[in-house]
Amino acid sequence: MIKVYDAIIIGAGIAGLNAAALFPKDKKVLVICKENSWDCNTFYAQGGVAVPYDRDDIDVHIKDTMAAGAGLCDREAVEILCRDGRASIDDFINRGFLFDSDEERNLHYTKEAGHSRARILHAGGDATGRHMHHFLMKENSHLLLYNSVVTDLLIDNDICHGVRVHHKGIFRNYYAKTTIIASGGLGSIYKYHTNARTISGEMQGLALEKGCLLQDMEMMQFHPTVFIHNKGARKQLLTEALRGEGAWIIDDNKKRFLFEYDDRGAMSPRNIVSRSIFDWRKKTGLNTYLDLHNFDKDFFKKRFPTIYFNLKDLGFNLPEDNVPISPAFHYAMGGIKTDLNGKVPGFKNLYAIGEVASTRVHGANRLASNSLLEGFVFSKRAVCDIEKNSFNFKIKQFIEDEEVLIKEDDKELKNRLRELMWENAGIVREYNNLKKTLIEIDKMLKSDVGKLLRLRLKTSKSIVQSAINRRESLGAHYIIKEGDK
Ligand code: SIN
C-alpha cells in the first residue's frame, strides 16, 4: 500500500506554511523544503506586511496597488487581497503573532513607497519575515521534509498524483490528493539579488514542462536600495521603510537626484527609483548612496536592528555612514498562471500560491509589502477551495526514475546565465540584446546540462521571450529601442 497524503506543499515560506496551518489537524500534510526551512524569501523580508489600516483604507489600498501595477493588475484579485487582507492579518494576530506596537499596544504602521498612507505592519523592527517564519514554524504540526529537491510533478491525464523528490542521493515518489506549489520566486537566475540562495525558479520551469502556463514573466521587480558588495549570493537588502521614515538617496555630490526624475523623489514606486538610479549612474558615472543622517542612533538601532548589525559586520557605522546602493533583483510578479483560488488551469488538483504564482494581483509592478499579504490571503483561498472541491481519483504509481540533476559544466553555465540575465533582462532592456540572450539560452539548453539547470534555463527563457514580446515599456518592464540609447 502506498502512503497518500491529503496535501503535499512544496516550499516553507509564508504561503506554504500558512496553507499547512489552515488544513484541519487530522489531514495528512507533507511540507517539502529544498534545504533548510528558512531558505525562503519570507525569512528575509524586512519592511513588513501591507494591510488596509481600517475599512476606509481598503479602497485606497486597492487604488495604490492598481496604480503601482500599471494597468496589468486583475482588479478582482486586488479587491480580494485588500478586502480579505485585514481579516487575514487580524486572524494571524489572534493566533498569537506580535507585530511591533507601542506601550499601549497600538500597532505601529510604517510607510513605504507607492503607499498613500502608513499601512505597513512590522515585527522585530526590520525582521518581520524572520519573526513571521519563526511563528509559522512553531505553529506547524505537519511533517517537514528537509534537504529535498522536487525533481518532478507526477502528472497523468491532467491529474497530479504527487511529486518526485531527491533526498540524500535517493529519488523517491510522494503521493497526494492535492499538490500545492509554494516554492517562491527565482532570484538566483540574476547576478545580483536579495533572495534566499535556494530560490532559483526551477519549479516554474518544471511547471512549464508539464504544460502549465507561465504568465507575465517579463515583469521582474528590482529593489532600488541594495548593498551588493557583500560576499554570498544574497545581497543585503536595505528596506524601503528606511526611506518611508526619512532616509535619502544621494550621489557622490550629495545631490538628491531622484527629484530630477519624479516629484516624489525616493518615495516614487520602486520601478521608477530603480530605473532612475540605474540611469543616473550611467549618465554621470557617480556612485549612489543611502543617506541615513535623519535618524537618531538609538532609534535606528532599535527600529532597524537587522540592517544595523549586518552592516556593522561589513564595516559600517550606521546611521552615520552613507551606504553605497544599487538596484538588485527582488521579486517576480510573473509566475505560474492560476485562478483566484490558486488553482492551476487545466489540472484537477494542482495549486500554486505566493511568489511562484501569477494571479495578476501585482500587475506589472508589485506595491511594496503586498507579497506577505498575498501569501496569507491566497493560501487561505487555496485551502478553502481544496476542502470544498476535492475530488476522488485513484492514485497511480509512477516509476522512481533516476535523473542526472547536476552535470560537470553546470556551475559555469549558471554563472554565465546570471550575468546574461542581469545585463540583458534586467532593469533596462534592449530588443537586440534580448534576442541575443534568447539564442544563447537556447544554445545552453541544447548542451549537456543537468535537469535543475535545464529547468532554470526554461524559466529564464520564458522571461526573455516575454520581454521580447512586450515591445512597449510597462511597469517593471522597461525596454528601449536601439536608437534611444
Ligand atoms: C522592503 O523591505 O523594502 C521590501 C518590502 C517588499 O519587497 O515588499
Q: pLDDT digit string (tens) for 382-402?
A: 999 999 997 789 999 999 888
Q: Give the Cα separation of 450 and 187 in Å (integer).
A: 19
Question: pLDDT digits over 105-152, tens only?
Answer: 999 999 999 999 999 999 999 999 999 999 999 999 999 999 999 999
Q: Average pLDDT, stretch 210-216?
A: 98
Closest C-alpha to ligand 1, atom 8: 369
Beta strands 120-121 and 148-156: pairing type?
Answer: unpaired
CA–centroid distance, 369 to ligand 1, in Å, is 5
CB count, 10 Å around CB of 117? 13
Is the confidence at residue 22, as pLDDT, over 70? yes
Q: Which residues contact 209 (CB under 8 A, 6 or more apart)?
A: 455, 458
Q: Average of pLDDT values for 418-438?
A: 97
CATH of domain 410-480: 1.20.58.100
Is the separation of the CB atoms in 126 and 247 below 8 Å?
A: no
Lowest mean pLDDT among 210-224, 335-349, 381-395: 381-395
The pLDDT of 44-61, averaged and rounded, is 96
Judge whether residue 481 has pLDDT over 80. Answer: no
Q: What is the pLDDT of residue 176?
A: 97
Q: Look up residue 368 and give its three cell numbers.
A: 511594496
CA of 236 to the centre of ligand 1 (A): 12
pLDDT of residue 401: 82
- So what's the pLDDT on residue 485? 56
Per-residue model confidence (pLDDT) at position 335: 98
Inform me whether the pLDDT recorded for 157 exceeds 90.
yes
| 143 C-alpha to ligand 1 centroid (Å) | 30
206-225 mean pLDDT = 98
Look at residue 417 in the predicted model and tell me its pLDDT: 98
Model confidence at 322, pLDDT cuts 50, 70, 90, reads very high
Question: How far apart (Å, rounded) are the C-alpha atoms in residues 133 and 141?
Answer: 14
Please tell me the distance between residue 49's alpha carbon and the centre of ligand 1 in angstroms.
9
DSSP string spanning 55-120?
A: HHHHHHHHHHHHHHTTT-S-HHHHHHHHHHHHHHHHHHHHTT----B-TT-PBPEE--TT-SS--E
CATH topology of domain 224-329: Flavocytochrome C3; Chain A, domain 1 (3.90.700)
Q: Please check the confidence at residue 270 and state whether its pLDDT lies above 70.
A: yes
Decide: 355 and 346 in contact? Cβ < 8 Å. Answer: no
Q: Which atom of ligand 1 is nearest to the CA of 126?
A: 2
Q: Burial level of 257, CB count in 10 A (0-12/13-18/19+)?
A: buried
Query: Is 7 within 8 Å of 18 (Cβ atoms)?
Result: no
Neighbours of 441 (CB within 10 A): 24
Pocket test of ligand 1: the residue of 240, 245, 271 to mutate, having most ligand atoms within 8 Å of its CB, is 240
Q: What percent of the chain has pLDDT over 70?
A: 99
Pocket test for ligand 1, best of 44, 237, 329, 355 (most atoms within 8 A of CB): 237
Structure confidence at residue 391 (pLDDT): 78
Name the residue among 197, 266, 192, 188 with its Cα closest to residue 427.
192
Per-domain residue ranges of the chain: 224-329, 410-480
Catalytic residues: 270
- The ligand 1 site (C-beta within 6 Å) comprises 46-47, 239-241, 330-331, 368-369, 371
Instruction: Please say if the pLDDT value at position 255 is more than 80.
Output: yes
Name the residue of 330, 355, 373, 374 whose CB sits within 8 Å of the most ligand 1 atoms, as the mutation to test its pocket.
330
Give the chain's mean pLDDT. 96
Cβ contacts of 471 within 8 Å, gap of 6 or more? 431, 479
- Joined grid coordinates for residue 267: 518615495
Per-residue pLDDT at 211: 98
pLDDT at residue 327 in the model: 97
Return the biggest CA–CA distance within the chain: 71
Rounded mean pLDDT, 389-418: 93
The ligand 1 atom nearest the CA atom of 371: 8
What percent of the chain stands above pLDDT 90? 96
Residue-wise pLDDT tens digits, 351-383: 999 999 999 999 999 999 999 999 999 999 999
Question: pLDDT tens across 283-321, in order?
Answer: 999 999 999 999 999 999 999 999 999 999 999 999 999
User: Can you tell me the distance from the alpha carbon of 465 to that of 142, in angstroms, rounded to the nearest whole number?
Assistant: 39
Q: What is the DSSP letter of 258?
A: G
